[in-house]
Amino acid sequence: MYIHQLKNWPKFQWDEPAILPQLAAARHQQGRLLGKMEGIGFSLQEEATLQTLTQDVVKSSEIEGEILDAAQVRSSIARRLGMEIAGLTPSDRNVDGVVEMMLDATQSYQDPLSEDRLFGWHAALFPTGRSGMHKIAVGHWRNNSKEDPMQVVSGPMGREIVHYQAPDAELLASEMGRFIEWFNSNLSLDPVLKAGIAHLWFVTIHPFDDGNGRIARAIADMQLARADQTAQRFYSMSAQIRIERNRYYDMLEYTQKGTLDITEWLTWFLDCYGRALQSTDQTLAKVMAKARFWDNPATRAINERQRLMLNKLLESFEGKLTSSKWAKIAKCSQDTAGRDIQQLIKLGILAKEEGGGRNTSYTLREVREWAKSFSRGAPAKDDWDINRDR
């Protein structure tokens, strides 16, 4: 028996004395983070939001086994938020769809949730009407029969393990109506706690043929934006859930096969939320390093090709930078790539790595030296010390 089959579903219960200290600690962490971010200036807040949203979209898809191109995701977000960044790349419609859903959830977090809004998110996730090779019902609740129930399974064909079976399709209209009404009207519940409950409740109903996990996380992010009272995003729950994916799935299965006492689920969710807040150090370190890099007067003498390549190195460049990669990405000749690189070496921006000949590679000197300083716990005096409150 699953929790949605229990007599009092969905009257969730939890041990409030056990949860409240944990919730208070998480809210304290949240307040300190938001306070820090208020002091770093709008441009850095904007860059941190861009990095966080990119991470959120990429990692939420990774949880479901779908790998998105981070550069495409970043470009799609920047275009939709009107951010002027160098090196925007074209993005596929499946990337744009996930981005549209996430931005609608987090940037319009104060708008009520509705059936039509959820249908729009689902249609954005599956612009071709297919999940992989399979045609699915897009933009409306699933309509599977009792003979073909919605199940979460794993394992090889013929030896599948059923982890969960969702409510019958004929119940979805009433189930989702009740969920949406609760989400929009229950304002007395702490919004962080409500995010954890909403996540569990939605994914338990499992109203769509596919995409339920990503939409459940978008709903949780929408509620967390309400908790933050800002559309700016400085931490990623999806990135932390991706790290804890096995535990995440175990907790879902355990809870969905248990009772309506969801104390253990909320305990895990609040712990995960706290770890997500703590992990912002890495994102913010990259933001501060990038800001410090572009403050270097030497960067004012560079051309557009160099600006494009330096931004790629600062963000998510894969592998080593060579002159041939430069020429391919910047769409220029090998000789032009060589001149660009040599000028940056003279300016003290790039450094030649060990080795030579055809395999010569280059790295960013400024960020490399700052990163070494940061790892020793001694960033420059005028840098914002993101470890201050540890």
Task: Show the 3-state SS of 307-360.
Answer: HHHHHHHHHCCCCCECHHHHHHHHCCCHHHHHHHHHHHHHCCCEEECCCCHHHC
User: What Å distances lie between residue 276 and 143, 240, 269, CA to CA?
Assistant: 36, 5, 10
- CA 323, CA 328: separation in Å to the nearest integer? 9
Tell me how many degrees the CA angle 251-103-90 measures, rounded to the nearest 5.
110
Q: Is 78 annotated as a binding residue?
A: no
- CA 328, CA 238: separation in Å to the nearest integer? 33
* Catalytic residue, candidates 4, 122, 199, 206: 206
Name beta bridge partners: 340.
none
Q: Is 339 annotated as a binding residue?
A: no
Encoding tokens for residue 264? 């253990």
- CA 350, CA 365: separation in Å to the nearest integer? 5
Determine how β-strand 161-165 pairs with β-strand 134-135: unpaired
CA atoms within 13 A on the CB side of 27: 13
Q: Is 212 annotated as a binding residue?
A: yes
Q: Is 307 annotated as a binding residue?
A: no
Q: Is 249 annotated as a binding residue?
A: yes
Listed residue (81, 71, 31, 64) closest to 241, CA to CA: 64
| DSSP reduced 3-state for 119 | helix
CA atoms within 13 A on the CB side of 7: 0
Specify the long-range contacts of residues 139-147, CB closer than 8 Å, at least 24 apart. 141/169, 141/172, 141/173, 141/176, 141/207, 141/208, 142/169, 142/172, 142/206, 142/207, 142/208, 142/209, 143/169, 144/169, 144/209, 145/169
What Rg do the C-alpha atoms of the chain give, in angstroms? Answer: 23
Q: Is 211 annotated as a binding residue?
A: yes
Q: Is 216 annotated as a binding residue?
A: yes
| Catalytic-residue membership of 4 | no
Q: Is 213 annotated as a binding residue?
A: yes
User: What Å distances lie between residue 106 and 113, 118, 123, 172, 270, CA to CA?
Assistant: 12, 14, 18, 25, 19
Evaluate whether 312 touches 303 at the Cβ level (below 8 Å): no
* Catalytic positions: 206
- Which residues contribute to the annotated binding site for ATP? 210-217, 248-249
- Which residues contribute to the annotated binding site? 210-217, 248-249
